[in-house]
Amino acid sequence: MEPFQLQKSKTSEGPVLLELKKWTDSYPELTAGFTTRNGGVSSEHFDSLNCALHVLDNEADVIHNRKLVAEACGMPFEAWTCGEQVHGSHVHVVTQNERGKGRMNRTDAIQNTDSLVTDVTGVLLASFYADCVPLMFLDPVQRVIGLAHAGWKGTVSNIGAATVHKMQEQYGCRLEHIQAAIGPSIGSCCYEVDERVIAEVRRVFEGCQQAERVQDVVIRPTSAGHAMLDLRELNRHLLIEAGILAANIECTTLCTGCNIDMFYSHRMEGGTTGRMMSWIGWK
């Protein structure tokens, strides 16, 4: 079953959100999910629930959208905490003093980081996407949560494993307790890449015992020097390699490229579009 389910709304208006239902049903004090592009106030290319400040949308509209999402999540806007993403693999540990960083402007965001982890109750972690892969993490025993933004660069840098290792080192999380979820992102049906990217992906499999079998799933050649790439499956494989139990990984079937009525897609919309967000927080 699709892990990201439409959140029930009290009214017909407001943001249209996808809830990571298995997690939120299991832990009612947890809020976790992914936004769509619908139910906000942005206009033109950013119609309508753009949650990112870096895409040249009207700043006041973005802040309004963020407040709408925070309210629908059941968290105060003051809890909204995010990083300035750079397609890297740095993992930042969010402290109580950093609660609310980046909610109003980019300069105040946690700089140069694509992954956030915390055990602080009352912090809403947020991360932004328009085709890249959202990775979400939960250790319900240590009450640790995390988000990672995995484009192809972050994926081949193994940002997922880096996040898992940080959870272990910082909080003593045990691999058998860590759950992960892979959210809506561009699927292999819509994501053709060239040899430059293919070569980087192949390096990931060097020394992997199941390299050939997994590569055949992740990379499907289309023409000379080109292939369709399954970033979601690659991230799932890397999380398993990092020690996460396969049974503890939820993976979406929703493709942002196939569903631009629901999602923003950088590739399908020529680079001028808004951003969805993943979120997670202990209320």
> What pLDDT is stored for residue 56 in this prediction?
94
The pTM of the whole model exceeds 0.85: yes
Dmax of the chain from CA atoms? 53
Q: Produce one character per residue of 93-108: b if its CB has 16 or more CB atoms within 10 Å, e if not.
A: bbeeebbbbbbbeeee
% of the chain residues with pLDDT over 70: 97
Mean pLDDT of the chain: 96
- Summarised one tens digit per residue, pLDDT across range 174-225 is 999 999 999 999 999 999 999 999 999 999 988 776 667 788 899 999 999 9
Confidence band, pLDDT 50/70/90 cuts, at residue 11: low
Q: Residue 49 has what DSSP assignment?
A: T
* pLDDT computed for residue 10 by the predictor: 60
Of the candidates 264, 1, 269, 272, which has an alpha carbon nearest to the alpha carbon of residue 134?
Answer: 264
Rounded distance between C-alpha atoms, residue 281 and residue 283, angstroms: 6
CB within 8 Å of 279: residues ≥ 6 apart: 31, 32, 33, 34, 35, 69, 73, 124, 125, 126, 127, 147
pLDDT at 18: 98
pLDDT at 213: 75
Confidence grade of residue 96 (pLDDT, cut at 50, 70, 90): very high
Contact assessment for residue 72 and residue 51, using Cβ atoms and an 8 Å cutoff: no
pLDDT tens per residue across span 168-182: 999 999 999 999 999
> Taking a C-beta distance cutoff of 8 angstroms, is the pair 197, 144 a contact?
no
| pLDDT band for position 8 (cuts 50, 70, 90) | confident
Give the per-residue pLDDT at 249. 98
Residue recorded with tokens 């629901």: 262
Give the mean model confidence (pLDDT) for residues 256-269. Answer: 98
User: Which residue type is seen at 160?
Assistant: G
> What is the rounded distance in angstroms from the CA atom of residue 187 to the CA atom of residue 265?
11
Instruction: Take residue 198 and report the two structure tokens written for it.
Output: 């293919």
Predicted local distance difference test score (pLDDT) of residue 210? 67
pLDDT tens, 110-140? 999 999 999 999 999 999 999 999 999 999 9
Distance CA 78, CA 225 (A): 48
The pLDDT of residue 222: 96
Res 260 pLDDT > 90: yes
Report which of 100, 76, 132, 154 is spatially closest to residue 257, judged by C-alpha positions: 132
Q: pLDDT by residue (tens digit) across 26-64?
A: 999 999 999 999 999 999 999 999 999 999 999 999 999
